[in-house]
Amino acid sequence: MLTYEGSDGNRILDSARVADGRFSFKGKLSGPVMAYLYPGNSGERVESTSLFLEPAPMQLQLDWNKFRAARLTGSSLQDQYATLQLEKDQIEKKYRVQLDSLRTVRDKEMNAAIRERLEPYFNEMNQADYRFFKKYPRSFVTAFMLRFHADDLPLDTLEARYHALGPDIQQTAPGKMIADEVRKLRNGSPGSKAANFTAADINGQQLSLSDYSGKYVLLDFWASWCVPCRKGNPHLKEIYAKYKDKGLEFIGIADDDTKPEA
């Protein structure tokens, strides 16, 4: 099974039968895409693999039990990504013990402490991506990876990276996502007017930001699983107690989508 997102945002799904150890997909692409290949209704638990496909003949070699080790040739984008991944694999080896601890420890407080110790690791991984963006400014791989850095890059840097992609890559699915992120970040930057919203509060009553017009409003985005968020709550309560009589209001927006009761 092969699936990818078309330039119009629709998910495309294709299939090919394996015969004598061979299979083939034929079709037309308007531009590069990130695709996912996985086994069909085999009943076996076999891992999938991700591939950067281009409008060109390509060849794929894989072991049925090792999809993630698949080798794609004929795609320059896949070659670019493989180089980046090799660099990041070397970084990951340096922090293997801490990463294994993060995966196995279930205590939220301990998890937060491990994450703090892993800050150099996250920074090194980000720097590897940034170097790639600089080396391949107009690459589809850059557009695909840039989406994951919308929160850690300054807005002007993100905008510059987006413009450097060029018109063709900007029209791809990840290019459009970055444009949307830039728009949202610009609207949420200092000096911008906050967009109105309406949501149910903790008592099930409808609450709108516009209800608080004329007051000083702080929007606090948090979650019950976020240790730093919870550690900051006592401080926020102190500030609220000190300034509520002067028109300060807090609206806490909890990101517990799967556990509304939390």
Q: What is the pLDDT of residues 69-84, one digit of tens each?
A: 899 999 999 999 999 9
pLDDT value at position 210? Answer: 94
Instruction: From 197, 242, 203, select the one nearest 219 (Cα to Cα).
Output: 197
Q: Which two tokens stand for residue 248?
A: 């300060």
> With contact defined as beta carbons under 8 Å apart, do 181 and 150 qualify?
yes
Higher pLDDT, 149 or 8: 149
pLDDT digits (tens, 9 = 90+) for 22-46: 999 998 888 899 999 998 765 556 6
Residue-by-residue DSSP string for 39-88: --S-SS----EEEEE-SS--EEEEETTEEEEEEEES-HHHHHHHHHHHHH
pLDDT value at position 225? Answer: 79
pLDDT value at position 47? Answer: 80
The whole-chain average pLDDT of the chain stands at 88
pTM here is 0.74
> With contact defined as beta carbons under 8 Å apart, do 98 and 114 qualify?
yes
Distance CA 9, CA 193 (A): 29
- Radius of gyration of the chain from its Cα atoms, rounded to whole angstroms: 23
pLDDT value at position 192? Answer: 84
pLDDT (mean) for 226-244: 91
Task: Indicate whether 102 pLDDT > 80.
Answer: no
pLDDT value at position 179? Answer: 96
- Weakest mean pLDDT among 12-16, 90-94, 98-102: 98-102
Q: Which two tokens stand for residue 76?
A: 């320059």
Reported as a pLDDT band with limits 50, 70 and 90, residue 62 is very high
